[in-house]
Amino acid sequence: MNEVERLVDATYLGNTLWQWTVAASIAVGVFFLLLLIRRAIRTRYEALAATPEVEFLELPFKVAARTTVLTITVASLFVGAQWLTLPPSVNKALVTLVTINIFWQIGLWATIAVIAGLERKQRATLATDAAAASSLGVIGFLARATIWSFVLLLTLDNLGIQIKPLLAGLGIGGIAVALAAQNILGDLFASLSITLDRPFVVGDSLQVDEFNGTVEYIGVKSTRLRSVNGEQIIMPNANLLSSRVRNNSRMNTRRVVINLSIDQQTELEKLQAIPVKLRELIESHQPIRFDRAHFNKIGASSFDFEAVYIVLTPDYAKHMEILQDINLRLVEWFRKEAITLSTPQRVYYVDQQPHTVQSSLVSEKTLPASRDS
């Protein structure tokens, strides 16, 4: 009994065994209580997430459900320690641990809230504003980087590290890093330009130099296109913006030019009828805005005509159907009126010298084609 009494009456860090037992019991009780609360929150969040409607409390429950076991453990130890009398150094270390854990947990909560909010915004705006939806990925990356930068700085400050000299050193080192990572930073700023200026969005059909494809993803480093041939094209953002980009999805009209080269033996009356017929064929289609049709040039071996019209729809298939019908009806009319297209011919003149066995080519000229030749 004396040994048991001595064990019970003994003090450890200024607290009796009974005080340690009470503090441990409180810490364990708080730990399991917080686990039960987190489980109830997760169950409630899963029920809200299963419904198609977005509930008002769905986001707060989702954020609270991501409370970590480490945070619960540290909080339980802190509550239990309030029943003890600890040395100043131990108490200070415990407060520092709790503070740092709170910073990291808040950082995790803030990250979850930002991601969830952006995902909700993306779903809401994707159908009406694809530009805003495609820019949310870059915004989310910058938001997460900002949150964790603050968390890291607050952690270092609580550990006793002087932040001001560190920031000054990072500023000098940042210049060296920026010089070493020019391409990466160039792509990053290019992604910001795409996000803010919105020259294209996910789903747009682009022509970049010799590449044609549909935008599948706009990232921080690169943009991915799905080629018309089926392969994926990955282009750095900086290179993409420095190229001449044609956004075919924002096309609202198509300008079509028809060029004809007519045989120079064609009668004047038939030549006068060609612009009239071109206008008639073009205006017989919809939706089209006729621009002009003229005898625009006398060529070396042909009379050249040019007709221009505007298709008032970006639909490529519709444009090709109209052009095909115009061409077929034009060929039919040419055959009916006996109008032929120009076919350039080359005539070679050979000069026969009196004492030369082999002939030589003296000149080469391009002469007008003729139906009688």
Same domain, 164 and 47: yes
> Given this model, what pLDDT does residue 177 score?
54
Q: Average pLDDT for residues 64-80, to the nearest whole number? A: 90
Residue 53 burial (C-beta neighbours within 10 Å; 0-12, 13-18, 19+): exposed
Q: Domain with 206 in it: what CATH number?
A: 2.30.30.60
Final residue in a domain of this structure, among 250, 274, 291: 250
The C-alpha atoms of residue 351 and residue 269 are separated, in whole angstroms, by: 40
Q: Determine the length of the chain.
A: 373
> Given this model, what pLDDT does residue 189 score?
74
- The three-class DSSP label of residue 355 is coil
The half-sphere exposure of 116 on its side-chain side, counting CA atoms within 13 A, is 21
Domain hosting residue 47, numbered range: 2-183
Same domain, 122 and 49: yes
Final residue in a domain of this structure, among 231, 250, 269: 250
- Residue-wise pLDDT for 228-274, tens only, equals 888 999 888 888 888 888 888 888 889 999 999 999 999 999 999 99
Same domain, 42 and 165: yes
Same domain, 316 and 235: no
Same domain, 25 and 51: yes
> Given this model, what pLDDT does residue 303 score?
94
- How many structural domains comprise the chain? 3
Same domain, 231 and 153: no
> Given this model, what pLDDT does residue 282 score?
94
Same domain, 48 and 176: yes
The half-sphere exposure of 245 on its side-chain side, counting CA atoms within 13 A, is 24
Final residue in a domain of this structure, among 193, 220, 250: 250
